[in-house]
Each structure stands twice: as C-alpha cells, then as structure tokens.
Structure 1
Amino acid sequence: MSTRVKVLRVFKSLHRTRMAVFKDDERALAAAKSKINEEFRKNKNESLEENIEKMIKMGSDVETVLRQCVLQVEHVSNDRLLLRPRKDLLLENVPYCDQPRKKS
C-alpha cells in the first residue's frame, strides 16, 4: 500500500472517530477537526519515509486513545455536581482505559 493511501486512511479514520466520540458536542467536534487538520497540514511537506511512518503510527495511536479512553458525561442534577456517562455514546465490547493518569 502506498504511503499516500496510508496517510489518507489515518486522516479519515481520525475524523470518523472524532465524529463518533464527540457526537452532539459541537465545540469539541470543531476543536478536534481543527487540530487534526492543523497537524496534517503542518507535516504535509515531510518527505522522509521513516518520519512519515512514525507519524502514521502516531495518528493510529491517537485514534485508538480517542475511541477507547474518551468518555462523554452528562450533568444529571441541578442541586449538586452529579455526572454520568452518556449511555447512548458508549461503544459495545470496547475496553475503556483503566490506567491512572500520570501526575505532572
């Protein structure tokens, strides 16, 4: 498979994942779209095959993290901060992240 096809496949995959993960969140959809497009535009003149392969791998990894680790929640109580996962957006049979966040 040509490098161009691989790059386009990752680009499209990231946008499809963005649409699923941030469904009904116009602000997050726009921000993710902007970031994806910016990163691809920034690297469009890269010509070293090794660097391109690394970026393709990174794009695939980002897509996996978005699909498996991002969870939208909804506010369910006005008198206190109570959030719950948006069940309409949970993906069936997908393992969600269970790793603790790294402390900075």
Structure 2
Amino acid sequence: MSARLKVLSVFKSLHRTRLAVFKEDNKALTAARLKINDEFRKNRNETSEENIQKMIKIGSDVEIVLRETVLQMEHIGKESLLLRPRESLLLENVPYCDQPRKKS
C-alpha cells in the first residue's frame, strides 16, 4: 500500500474512532475533528518517507489510545460529585462501579 493510502486510512480511522468515542458530545466531536484535521494539514507537504512512516505510526497509536482508554462519564444526580460511565455508550457486560471509592 502506498504511503498516501496509508495516510488516508489513518485519517479516516481517526475520524471513525472520534465519532464512536465522543458520541453525543458535540464539543468533543468538534474539538477532535479540528485537531485531527489541523495535524494532517500541518504535515501535508512532508516528503520524507521516513517522517511519513513515523507520523502514520503516531496516528495509528493515537487511534488505539482513543479507542481503548477514553470513557465518557456522567454525573449521578444534579449536585453530585459522583460519576459513572454513560450507560448509553457502555458495551454489554462491562462492569463498573458507581459508588465512591473509600479512602485508604
């Protein structure tokens, strides 16, 4: 696969992940879209094959981090400091705790 196709693939993958990870959060969706587009735009004139491969790797790594580590939370109650994962975005059978952690 040519470098151009790999770059395009990473670009699309980041945007698909952005849509899934920040679902229903318009501020985060917009901020992520602007950041992804800005980073790719900044480097669009890069000609070094070595640098392009490094940036492809970074983009792929960022996509994995977003997909595997970002979790949207919601407040429990109006004035509560307790948070829980947004139920509408949870995968089935993924346990979580909505109780505050006890201090050791």
TM-score by length of 1: 0.85
Q: Which amino acid aligns with 2:46?
A: E
Q: Classify 1:66/1:91 alpha carbon distance in 2 versus 1 (closer, same or farther; 3 Å).
A: farther
Larger Rg: 2
2:86 aligns to what?
A: 86
Consecutive aligned runs of 4 or more in structure 1 exceeding 2 Å deviation: 90-94
TM-score by length of 2: 0.85
| Residue correspondences, number | 94
Superposed CA offset, 1:38-82 (max 9, x none): 000000000000000000000000000000000000112123212
| Residue 45 of structure 2: aligned partner | 45
RMSD of equivalent CA atoms: 1.6
In the alignment, structure 1 segments of 5+ residues that lack a partner are: 95-104
Identity %, equivalent residues: 71
Segment of structure 1 superposing worse, 75-84 or 39-48: 75-84
3-state SS of paired residue (1:84): strand
> Structure 2 CA distance, aligned partners of 1:62 and 1:52?
15
In the alignment, the residues of structure 2 paired with residue 91 and residue 55 of structure 1 have an alpha-carbon distance, to the nearest angstrom, of 31
